[in-house]
Amino acid sequence: MNNFISSRAFEVKPNEISTSRYWLKPTIEKVEPLAERNFGISKCVEAARELFPQDVIYNWIECPKETRIKLAEDFSFYVADAFELDNFKGLYIEDTGFGCAGYNNGDGKIHVSEMLVNDKNETPFELIDTIVHEMRHQYQSECMCGLHPIDNSVLKEWLAADNLYTNDSPYALDPWGYKYNALELDARYAGETVIREFTKDYRA
């Protein structure tokens, strides 16, 4: 599960959004190969670059909903290939409930909030981040079922984290249940590393 950082996505905002102040021009550089913990991430970055070029990012607000959905679906196939998923069963863009950007139960279905394609205040980066995050959870599940070779210490860590996993709160009582569960740390790392590497192109 990938919580929104806050409920800001659901706040009513004015329709007019300034699009000029923050845009930078990309300087595309080679995607560097990353270490084992980063399995699949370079391929995800390459897919993001291919499907979400500068004009798509800059014109996201005007981009028709059907096009946003198509981009999300196309990207999910690239990510499935990057993580070499065996049981990918498609991207489901739907109402995932208040404050939930997406979830995956390890059954191959990747659920992503419709808010990420409907809400004009969202960015393609959050969509990319969420798809990678939830698909990383699918990868973790497949690793824990023995479908992919993985470093034994990582496997042990994930199996232990899977045992402790819970959405109960407050987190103060159980920080490793969800908030700092190793599976969440890994999924957040995957999604946010893709964004970090992808947005390097745009840094001044």
Q: Which is nearer to Zn ion, 124 or 191 (CB)?
A: 191
At 184, list the tokens.
Answer: 């969440």
Q: Is 195 in the site for Zn ion (CB under 5 A)?
A: no
Q: Which residues contact 70 (CB under 8 A, 6 or more apart)?
A: none
Q: Which is nearer to Zn ion, 16 or 168 (CB)?
A: 168
Beta carbon of residue 48, minimum distance to Zn ion (angstroms, whole number):
19
99: left (phi over 0), alpha (psi -120 to 50) or beta: left
Q: Which residue has 């923050």 as its token pair?
A: 22
At 95, list the tokens.
Answer: 């109402």
Query: Which of 72, 187, 194, 195 forms a contact with Zn ion (CB under 5 A)?
Result: 187
Q: Which residues contact 195 (CB under 8 A, 6 or more apart)?
A: 125, 128, 129
Q: Is 48 in the site for Zn ion (CB under 5 A)?
A: no
Beta carbon of residue 16, minimum distance to Zn ion (angstroms, whole number):
33
Beta carbon of residue 181, minimum distance to Zn ion (angstroms, whole number):
8
> By rule CB under 5 A, what count of residues binds Zn ion?
4
Edge-to-edge, what's the strand order for the sheet holding 110-113? 91-94, 110-113, 102-103
Q: Which of 116, 111, 114 has its CA nearest to residue 128?
A: 116
Window contacting Zn ion (CB under 5 A); options: 2-10, 37-45, 66-74, 83-91: 2-10
Q: Which is nearer to Zn ion, 122 or 184 (CB)?
A: 184
Window 129-168: contact mask with Zn ion (x via CB under 5 A): ----------------------------------------
What one-letter code names the amino acid at 9?
A: A
Q: How far apart are CA 75 and CA 176, in angstroms?
A: 30
State the residue number with the nearest CB to Zn ion: 187
What HEC string does 163-197 produce?
HHCCCCCCHHHCCCCCCCCHHHHHHHHHHHHHHHH
Window contacting Zn ion (CB under 5 A); options: 18-26, 88-96, 106-114, 181-189: 181-189
Q: Is 1 in the site for Zn ion (CB under 5 A)?
A: yes
Beta carbon of residue 180, minimum distance to Zn ion (angstroms, whole number):
12
- Please give the residue ranges that form the binding site for Zn ion (CB under 5 A): 1-2, 184, 187
